[in-house]
Structure 1
């Protein structure tokens, strides 16, 4: 049954497409944080091991929230690795095991890329697709990502 929530089917499809791409970005970011949690070495191992864990745990919650938002709008959540890799705007680095500083830089670059696209998507979802609920949802997610990006930048300072 399709939702009857005051947003046209065409607009819902546009919002779901944006959310699906975001879901893929978040999943790739989650996987990268897991990778770094498992593979970090060096004098700050314990601190960074725990920090990367806190990042992927938070991303896991975001992933679930985004997928459920898609479902609440009548869409189907992408849920396979091949779909995530087709949709994501982020880059993976298979076979690379950077030092701790580069791990943090990579995560920061990805977080900032997601933040930039969230800014654009918030406007599009609200203005073009008339979905203020999803615009609010994305704004809250952006604010959480900005805080994580600040923490990552602080590690690099």
Structure 2
């Protein structure tokens, strides 16, 4: 009779489990906050791109290029946000429907939006986005997630720069009489 060694039962691990030293409640809270920011980022990207595609008027080229540059910068952060969620062991967005259910950035489906209104609306959206990033930063501080907090600091700086450019572009147009 052959000796058979009993198999040791191992803890069942999710195939998407990611090792981290963050506490489970921190992972859940930060992942949720980042997923909402990710939904906002996609919504802000699409709105910026929408305005890029539909801008018209005497400052067309300047606004068209500005909005394209800003949309590219916004889109570039989506992968960083989603990968950060995964790095800390969370799950990220899976669909447009999930984005729509989480986004706080309001869509603009108007057939025509005057160029200055576009700039001002995006300026307001970016200001709100910066405030939401700060809230997420506080949450990261609370759960001692310095890496995510550090990334968020860079995203705040980028968002404030976009806000500044939109402000100056819309203000300059007012002074020139257009």
TM range (shorter): over 0.9
User: Which sections of structure 1, spanning at least 5 residues, go unmatched?
Assistant: none
Matched with 1:34 is 49
Matched with 1:119 is 134
Matched with 2:75 is 60
Secondary structure at the aligned position of 1:153 is classed as: helix
If the length of structure 2 is used for normalisation, what is the TM-score? Answer: 0.83
**Among candidates 121, 132, 150, match of residue 136 of structure 1:** 150
Per residue, is there more helix in 1 or in 2? 1
CA distance in 1, matches of 2:115, 2:78: 25
Which ranges of 4 or more aligned residues in structure 1 deviate by more than 6 Å? Answer: none
Q: Does 1:46 align with 2:61?
A: yes
CA distance in 1, matches of 2:82, 2:139: 19
Matched with 2:115 is 100
User: Which sections of structure 2, spanning at least 5 residues, go unmatched?
Assistant: 1-15, 172-178
Bigger CA radius of gyration = 2
CA positional deviation for 1:96 = 4.0
Number of aligned residue pairs: 156
* Aligned residues: CA RMSD: 1.2
If the length of structure 1 is used for normalisation, what is the TM-score? Answer: 0.94
CA distance in 1, matches of 2:18, 2:91: 13
CA distance in 1, matches of 2:44, 2:122: 7
Q: Which moved more, 1:102-111 or 1:77-86?
A: 77-86
Deviations 1:7-50 (CA, angstroms, capped at 9, x unpaired): 11221111100000000001000000110111000001111111
CA positional deviation for 1:84 = 0.8
